[in-house]
Amino acid sequence: MQIGVFNGVNLDVLGDRDPEIYGGISYNELETRIYAWAAELGCSARCSQTNHEGEIIDSLHEARAWANGVVINPGAWTHYSYAIHDALELFDVPVVEVHLSDISGREDWRKRSVIEAVVTHRVIGEGPAGYRRALALLTDTE
């Protein structure tokens, strides 16, 4: 099983962002953990991160040809990118929305996810381990 793991805007500077909110690990460390969890769960992960909305849309379109499941943390795009909503809507494989922080308990503008309606599962506020849970949901190993 091939899982596409897509991380959006500002997740490249994860280690520099508020550790109380985001856990203090770097993006590279997050990727290392994701690859280790994927191996443990018997699937293969392909991780990517971009700060460019058009680029994540292109990558999502390409992933339709190879991904059996999708994990996505769009960062702040979660709250306003209808373009990402529309790209995710095209998948006929399960899509898991992940957020490191508990967006339901933060600023009002973060409470709304415009992709919520087109995802299969949501994993919110579990820190980096939320990505493991997302992979487990996709591989039915939870």
**Catalytic residue set:** 22, 99
Which residue stretch of 42-50, 56-64, 100-108, 131-139 sits at the interface with ligand DQA (rule: CB under 6 A)? Answer: 100-108
Q: Does 50 bind ligand DQA (CB under 6 A)?
A: no
Region of residue 105 (left: phi > 0; alpha: psi -120 to 50; beta: else): alpha
Q: CA-to-CA distance for 43 and 21, rounded, in angstroms?
A: 29
Decide if residue 10 touches ligand DQA (CB under 6 A). Answer: yes
- How many C-beta atoms lie closer than 10 Å to residue 112's C-beta? 12
Among 99, 115, 131, 135, contact with ligand DQA (rule: CB under 6 A): 99
Taking the C-alpha atoms of residue 128 and residue 17, their distance in angstroms, rounded to an integer, is 14
Using the contact rule CB under 6 A, the part of the chain among 30-38, 40-48, 60-68, 93-101 near ligand DQA is 93-101
Does 73 bind ligand DQA (CB under 6 A)? Our answer is yes
Segment near ligand DQA (CB under 6 A); pick from 25-33, 53-61, 71-79, 115-123: 71-79
The token duo for 15 is 């280690």
CB of 73 to ligand DQA, least distance (A): 5
Taking the C-alpha atoms of residue 62 and residue 51, their distance in angstroms, rounded to an integer, is: 18
